[in-house]
Amino acid sequence: MQDFSLSAQIIDTGISSKTYGPASSGFYSAAGKRAFDIALALVLLPFIAPLILVLWFIVRRDGGPGFFGHTRVGKNGKLFKCWKIRSMVVDAEAKLRAYLDANPEAAAEWDRDHKLTNDPRINQLGHILRKTSLDELPQIWNVLKGEMSFVGPRPIVTKELAKYGNSVSAYLVQKPGITGLWQISGRNDISYDQRVALDVAYLSNCNFTQDLTIILKTGSAVLGKTGR
């Protein structure tokens, strides 16, 4: 894993940055949040692990891997593999390039949101996995490793840093989350600028009560099948 300093990330992406410090220096931000992550992961793991194994087995039937690890930007710019149950076809990137080349409107949507309403890469089970967020269950491993938190900004790829503009450090001083304010505030129906504003707002008010509330509300968002 390569570790980038905040200044290096800003120079590489041409971003003029407003400097955000870490979340409040209280006990929860300093140590409590990590302790909560570990405790919750250990409680959930016996229930989640069998489900992950079943989904892995089903996805493997097309001959491709059961897991998909995509490089994302973590705290302080450190790159890490963010793990998911594979929800895409084996030749996903080739399909995406061909689709975007043939559909200018989809290409514009991809440039704007880094997501597609109608994604040609999704496999047969993938639509269900994404709508229910079951594809993200393996990220509990990222939490245990300390690369992610249960609650935080949505994990992004390097080129998305430019979309944060002068708020980029608000992302880089935090660990990405399996869920967050973005998950319970409209998820795929909010603009990228709104996502950035939510990350800044979360950073300014990071506390246990807020994290617990977000986790509980995430259940409603998942049951509402708001993913894609």
SS3 3: coil
pLDDT one digit per residue (tens) for the chain, 228 residues: 333 333 333 324 343 446 666 655 578 888 899 999 999 999 999 999 999 999 999 999 888 899 999 999 999 999 999 999 999 888 888 888 888 999 998 899 888 877 788 888 888 888 889 888 899 999 999 999 999 999 999 999 999 999 999 999 999 999 999 999 988 887 767 888 999 999 999 998 899 999 999 999 988 777 665 555
pLDDT of residue 24: 53
Report pLDDT for 93.
Answer: 85
Q: Burial, 209: exposed, middle or buried (Cβ in 10 Å; 0-12, 13-18, 19+)?
A: exposed
Torsions phi, psi for 185 (to 5 deg): -120, 25
**What pLDDT score was predicted for residue 15?**
39
Question: CB-based burial of residue 191 (10 Å sphere; 0-12 exposed, 13-18 middle, 19+ buried)?
Answer: exposed
Q: Where are the domains of the chain?
A: 6-87+122-222
Q: One-letter amino acid identity for 108?
A: A
Q: Which of 160, 142, 103, 126 is nearest to 228 (CA)?
A: 126
Rg (CA), the chain: 17
